[in-house]
A and B are shown apart, each in its own frame.
Chain A
Amino acid sequence: MEGNLNALTTVFTEFYYWATIPLMFFIHIGFCMYEVGASRRRNHMHTLMKNTMLIPLVTITFFFFGWWLYWAMPNGPWITGGLDLAAGAANTPWSETMGPNAGDRITGVFWAAFLLFSWTAASIVSGSVIERINSGAFWILAVVIGSVAWIIDAAWGWHYGGWMVQLLGYHDAYASGVIHAIAGGFALGILVVLGPRLGKFAADGTPRDINPHNPWMVCIGLFLIYAGFWGFYVACNVPIIDPPTIGGQITGDTWTATTIYLTPTTLGAITVNFLMSLSGGLLAGYLVSRGNAFWTYSGGLAGIITASAGNDLYHPIHAMIIGGFGTYCAYKLHFWVERKFKIDDAVGAVAVHGYAGFIGLVVCGFVLWGHPSSPYEGYATINPLGQFVGAIIMFFVLGFLPGWVIAKILATAGMLRIPKQVELLGLDFANNRDEQAAAADVRETEKAAV
């Protein structure tokens, strides 16, 4: 780190990524609140712990192998080249740069920013399967989505050298597909195998409402996810870089912020577009759900998610309209899929993340058609077909398929779903009964002391 400008850039970048991490913690707090709020009283604490324990499991496995996958697999492998072992070498769990290292200030914070995305991917899935999945089975699935599937998609489509960027012109600046579509698809794959909660559907197939025990808590949870989403957006950027360091076609010496693809953008652009797409989603969510608080808040989230693929470049009014459009479609699709295929997605995660993310990718292909996907020569430009193929890869190939396969294996082994009696009694039944007995014992003791 020689030279004042170099030192300042490095330390600023280190602090920049660090600051995104505590912000992104709010995403997880929000997910826990809204998932517990959506569950019934007899399942609260198990629901909380199911989500909480994905944190350490995804963290350690992301350290063990997830981070290496990102650096080693941008070529497929064997699509635009082999495994990138040279880039992967600096990101193995035994690499010196993965521990405290005076010569490398960036790897640790960059790893952690990606890790918080991993938690998000797993947490999206967590809400949809509440009240009937075996916690141990979920945690295996969380490792698969959080430390394997999403990070492979990131290597392919969210890396300046990813094969999808090179060949398809894939553009997904703030992760409509690489986080949301894949997590939604993965959740859907599990839900197909897992089945609905008992009582969700009447004998004639009509879906019943299983209301959240605390709608207010659900909405504040979603509000907290909005707060954490700021960290997510900021972490998707490279904060400051100069054209010679990029080494692409950009000429001159003007420093800039860039997307993960090293294409220029500004923090101002994504700040305005975040707010406008949130607003478009809230407005559409309110109208389409006739003022239902849960779907209005979910609409805000779906609005951001739909516009995220191109929020580095959209005009703010584009972001608003795209956010509203995606929200409307996600809401309609949620209830259509529920009725048609008897899918019990307890929190609407497949719709808000999966469908909105998929739609956002496709819309981006039309709106940004022809824009360069990369500063490097020879890359395909952004186009509708590339984005559509990319959406299929995210939602179905890396999302639905692994979710379905792993869930099927777990179900075959009798490990996926909790016993019917436990589902009816409630996951917290034993704890609740012990607590009631302890409280009664104390009460009797206190009465005796009167």
Chain B
Amino acid sequence: MSTTGIESWAVDLKDVGALYPFQGTEGLFLIIGVVLWIGWHVLQMRAEKADYDGIVGRHGDDASINEALEGD
């Protein structure tokens, strides 16, 4: 029993193809990967908006902006 399907190297390499484990589940892992990718964008966009809202709320006054511009 081996997750890769290879249980011994007593083989002719020309007969060997895929080496990775859990062959046959590529489609499932693709779905998981795509969900993670889309989810990352959603979480990131939410977090970025919240960050900017927070900055504008706390420091968006003229005095803070002028201070920041002086320091640039």
Instruction: Give residues in A with beta carbon < 8 Å to B.
Output: 1-2, 40-42, 57, 60-61, 63-64, 93-96, 99-104, 134-136, 139-140, 415, 418-419, 421-422, 424-426, 429-430, 433
Contacts and interface: CB of A to CB of B under 8 A. Distances in A.
A421 B18 contact: no
A426 B48 contact: no
Contact of B30 (A2, A94, A419): A94
Interface in B1-51: 13-14, 16-20, 23, 26-27, 30, 33-34, 37, 40-41, 44-45, 48, 51
A101 B18 contact: yes
A94 B26 CA distance: 5
User: How many residues of B sit at the interface, in one of the four size bands?
Assistant: 20 to 34
Contacts of A57: 37, 40
Contact of A93 (B13, B19, B26, B52): B26
Nearest to A140: B41
Nearest to B53: A419
B19 A100 contact: yes
Contact of B16 (A42, A102, A424, A425): A102
A41 B16 CA distance: 55
Given A93-B30, A135-B48, A424-B65, A419 B17 contact: no
A288 B68 CA distance: 36
A386 to B, nearest CB: 37
A422 B14 CA distance: 60
A61 B13 CA distance: 32
Contact of A61 (B20, B37, B71): B37
B19 A425 contact: no
A102 B55 contact: no
Contact of B68 (A2, A42, A100, A419): A42
A99 B45 CA distance: 31
For the complex of A and B, the 8 pairs showing the least CB-CB separation, nearest first, are A94-B26, A421-B60, A102-B16, A100-B19, A136-B45, A99-B20, A96-B18, A103-B17
B30 to A, nearest CB: 5
A57 B41 CA distance: 9
Nearest to B56: A421
B16 A426 contact: no
Contacts, number: 91
Contacts of A101: 17-20
Contacts of A429: 55, 59, 68
A415 B17 contact: no
A134 to B, nearest CB: 6
A418 B51 CA distance: 11
Nearest to A413: B45
Contacts of B18: 96, 99-101
A425 B17 contact: no
B19 A424 contact: no
Residue among A2, A134, A425 with most chain B CB within 10 A: A425
Contacts of B65: 421, 424-425
Given A64-B34, A421-B55, A425-B64, A40 B17 contact: no
A377 B34 CA distance: 41
Nearest to A421: B60
Contacts of A100: 18-20
A425 B48 contact: no
B51 to A, nearest CB: 7
A57 B14 CA distance: 35
Nearest to B20: A99
Contacts of B37: 57, 60-61, 64
A165 B40 CA distance: 38
A424 B59 CA distance: 11
Contacts of A2: 14
Nearest to B14: A2
